[in-house]
Amino acid sequence: MRKCRTGTLASVLAALSTPLLAEPPLVGDANCDDVVDQADANIIALNYGLSGDVTVLDGDVNRDRVVDSDDYFAVLANYGQSLPPIPPLQGIDVTAVLDAGNMITVTDNDTGDVIISPNLHEVWQANPDEHHPDHPALEPAIQFVPRSDGFDLVLTYANPDDQVRSLGTVYIPGIRFGSSIVHRDFYVDGKEQIITRPPGQNYFGRPEFYPGVISSPVKYIGEADPFDSDSDEYIIGVSIQYPILDYKHAVDMHTDSPGGQYTYGGQNWEVRIALNPKWCSINTCAPYSEEGEIQPGETRKYVVTCRIMKRLEGQHENEWMRLYHPYRRYFRCLYGMPRFQRDGRPVCSVTTTQLSACSGASPLGFINEALRPDTNGWGPWADHWSGVAATGWERFMVWSPTGLYCTAQHNNYPFQFTSHWNDVPPMAASLAELEQFTENTGAGLGLWWGRAAQVMREWEDPDDEPLDPSNDEHVFLAMSELSGAAGVNASMVGLDAFSYLPVWESYWWLQDMQAAYPGIAMITEPIHPDLMQTLAPTYLLGTRPLSQTGYRVRNPHYLTDFLSPGHEIWAGIHQHHLMEELGHWPSQQEILDAMVEFAGWGYVAAPFAEPAISGNVNAAQSWLTTVPPDLRP
């Protein structure tokens, strides 16, 4: 973690008389215990002067990347204030017990239903040796906190050794639901899906890494076939709270139905949370982080919350969001609310290249002879966009603005999204046309930065290096590309494949870029985890080919609505995907209809098409309807 010390005690004392208005979340709560008190002031005093990659837990309660007098102001202004306890969920009353064997039983006090019972899996187990051959697991101290609506597991690791240790795996085992369960797809938009375990067989869900696959470290298991026709339907929500920017590792959230000895008491379901997993299969490897292991002398705390509710008549359709209220409170303490100004206007996505166009006559893969910027300059495209802007479009995002690698195709889109203009005389000589377009129309111009987290030093570079924000050369090359975007008055830059950077690096690097170019909105891709969505908009593929229909967006992005109202999520809309859905090439009206649908769900519609705009296609404030009223901002 890059931190340095600045400031003096005198500057702290001089600032103590300045008031600061409180705003949600509870500003001044440096240890995220829901109260502003002396403990928070002590954290700021201990770390006063730290700057750089500092968090709320370091005392930077106003999130300006320095622990200073302003943070003391926040504590003084809110001293003694606290957040009320999160109320227990209504309509459920359970008894939760952790036995001497570290196995859980949860019983509904009203019906006698046993919702969870031992299946011989303890709530924590070491990983197999082959997963962590160099670092044996450190067993945590486990505190079990029962509630009327579930329980918490508080895991405290204290490494007394002189060697690095791994963290093991947490289980919520023995969930006594039937052969089919309801799952929510937090990889995409939170839609409900049914998972069925074949009779007599086990089931192991796909890896769901956070960050990297799912937007938040949560799981949802709903009962699809209750115990009997008169039984209530239960829903279980599991989440894990840990400071990822400090601990620097991912988790793998699995939904499984185990076999073998773990069918004790009958087949069952479980949630498996692997902490900093290290394994590889045929198709994928877990995002292991060596620095995420627990170091000698280090102490850590993880909180796993399990909440249980029943489906009741008259509930809000998304009452299930309450299962993650503890996670939301912790999340907002650490990361706050979105810090950028949301722009809900649609974006016209512009395709300038195709790999199929690569040839001796088109060495950069540009398409449409009349518009090719490598031969005609940018004037024809600027004229075309001006005509499209006259039909109602106000934002344009240009993909591969310097062309494609026609030889080193595996490294498309190219990292050099602006600098390569200088090597192509017609483009270099016509950059003023791009700037003039924005000035004449008032439209926003965006440029898609290919492989934004993978440094390439020359055109058609067959090799790349993961961008290292601590490497001065990498920073210079990246900032030079952004300088080119600013030079043509671009107001948006898409950060292609930005997830190549681990989030504990990209979180800070994104802010470095924003500070250097505050007039450019940066859009992360693929859709980034919850904490990144407090910093910038993000992009997902809204439509899908029929072969991937399960990944198509079908509803608002429920979890982000709940955590971060004010978010901005772009939804890419492809005409050939719509063609597969419709059975024919979509008309301009059908494309517009799709835009309206996505906008109504709260997404910024970003079609690779140019239908004339009519009606309201701005992204709705979806959280005003998706979130239960008392939980809205």
Q: Domain limits at 29?
A: 3-78
Which pLDDT score, from 0 to 100, does residue 7 have? 39
Structure-token pair, residue 3: 């931190």
Contact indicator for 257, 345 with CB cutoff of 8 Å:
no
Per-residue pLDDT band at 132 (split at 50, 70, 90): confident
Which SS3 state, helix, strand or coil, does residue 549 take? helix
- In the numeric block, which tokens belong to residue 148? 């009327």
DSSP 459: T
Q: What is the mean pLDDT of residues 203-211?
A: 92
Q: What share of the chain is helix, strand, coil (3-state, %, to 5)?
A: 30, 25, 50
The answer to whether 604 and 570 are in contact (CB under 8 A) is yes
Domain end among 13, 47, 78: 78
Place of tokens 């340095």: 4
Dump pLDDT digits (tens) for 52-87: 999 999 999 999 999 999 999 999 999 999 999 999
Phi and psi torsions of 48, nearest 5°: -55, 130
The CA-atom distances, in angstroms, between 475 and each of 309, 411, 512, 613 are 49, 19, 10, 40
Per-residue model confidence as pLDDT tens digits over 342-364: 999 999 999 999 999 999 999 99
- Residue 449 is predicted with a pLDDT of 98
Per residue in 427-472, pLDDT tens? 999 999 999 999 999 999 999 999 999 999 999 999 999 999 999 9
User: Is residue 107 situated within a structural domain?
Assistant: yes
For position 24, what pLDDT does the model report? 67
What gap in Å lies between CA 631 and CA 628, rounded to an integer? 6
Return the structure tokens found at 200: 């007599």
Euclidean distance between CA atoms 372 and 52, whole angstroms: 44
CB atoms within 10 A of CB 206: 11
Residue ending a domain, among 53, 78, 103, is 78
Residue 210 near residue 502, CB atoms below 8 Å: no
Cα torsion angle, 57, 62, 65, 67, sign: negative
Report, as an integer, the average pLDDT of 473-490.
98
Output the domain CATH number for residue 33. 1.10.1330.10
Same domain? For 118 and 164 the reply is: yes
> With 60 as the cut, is the pLDDT of residue 3 above it?
no
Q: Which helix (H) or strand (E) holds 382?
A: helix 379-389
CB-neighbour burial class of residue 531 (10 A; exposed 0-12, middle 13-18, buried 19+): buried
Average pLDDT, rounded, for the chain: 93
Instruction: Tell whether 109 and 248 lie within a shared domain.
Output: yes
In terms of domains, do 434 and 310 share one?
no
The pLDDT confidence band at residue 1, using thresholds 50, 70 and 90, is: very low
Domain shared by 112 and 71, yes or no = no
- Predicted local distance difference test score (pLDDT) of residue 127: 83
The Cα 397–Cα 110 span in angstroms is 57
- CATH number (domain holding residue 548): 3.20.20.80
Instruction: Classify residue 426 by burial, with Cβ atoms within 10 Å: 0-12, 13-18, 19+.
Output: middle
491/444 Cα distance (integer angstroms)? 6
For residue 297, the model assigns a pLDDT of 96
Write out pLDDT tens, residues 148-176. 999 999 999 999 989 999 999 999 999 99
Residue 67 corresponds to which tokens in the numbers above?
A: 């622990």
**Same domain, yes or no: 149 and 201:** yes
Q: Is 376's pLDDT higher than 60?
A: yes
Rounded Cα gap, residues 389 and 341, in angstroms: 22
Number of domains in the chain: 3
- Count of C-beta atoms within a 10 Å radius of residue 612: 12
Question: HEC states along 125-183?
Answer: ECCCCCCCCCCCECCCEEEEEEECCEEEEEEEEECCCCCCEECCEEEEEEECCCCEEEE
Q: What are phi and psi of 578, to 5 degrees?
A: -65, -35
Half-sphere exposure of 485 (CA within 13 A, CB side): 34
The per-residue pLDDT for range 500-518, each reduced to its tens digit, is: 999 999 999 999 999 999 9
Q: Among 31, 297, 295, 334, which Cα is nearest to 167's?
A: 295
pLDDT given at position 228:
40
User: How many other C-beta atoms can be found within 10 angstroms of the C-beta atom of residue 82?
Assistant: 13
Cα 110 to Cα 94: distance, rounded to the nearest angstrom: 8
Q: For residue 2, is pLDDT > 90?
A: no
pLDDT tens per residue, range 220-271: 999 986 444 344 599 999 999 999 999 999 999 999 999 999 999 999 999 9
Domain co-membership, 421 together with 561: yes
Residue after which a domain boundary falls, among 47, 78, 109:
78
Q: Name the one residue in this structure whose structure tokens are 């796993």.
A: 304
Q: Taking residues 595-602, what's their average pLDDT?
A: 98
Amino acid at 445: L
Residues 106 and 11 in one domain: no
User: Does the pLDDT at position 9 exceed 50?
Assistant: no
User: Do 69 and 120 sit in the same domain of this protein?
Assistant: no
**Rounded average pLDDT over 521-535:** 97
* Per-residue pLDDT, 505: 97
In 3-state terms, what secondary structure has residue 391? coil
- Which residues, listed in sequence order, are joined to residue 604 by a DSSP beta bridge? 570
What percentage of residues in the chain have a pLDDT greater than 90?
A: 89
Binned at pLDDT 50, 70 and 90, residue 8 comes out as very low
Cβ-based neighbours of 578, under 8 Å, separated by 6 or more: 543, 586, 590, 591, 594
In a domain, residue 619? The reply is yes
| Same domain, residue pair 587 and 455 | yes
User: Among 562, 2, 65, which Cα is nearest to 337's?
Assistant: 562
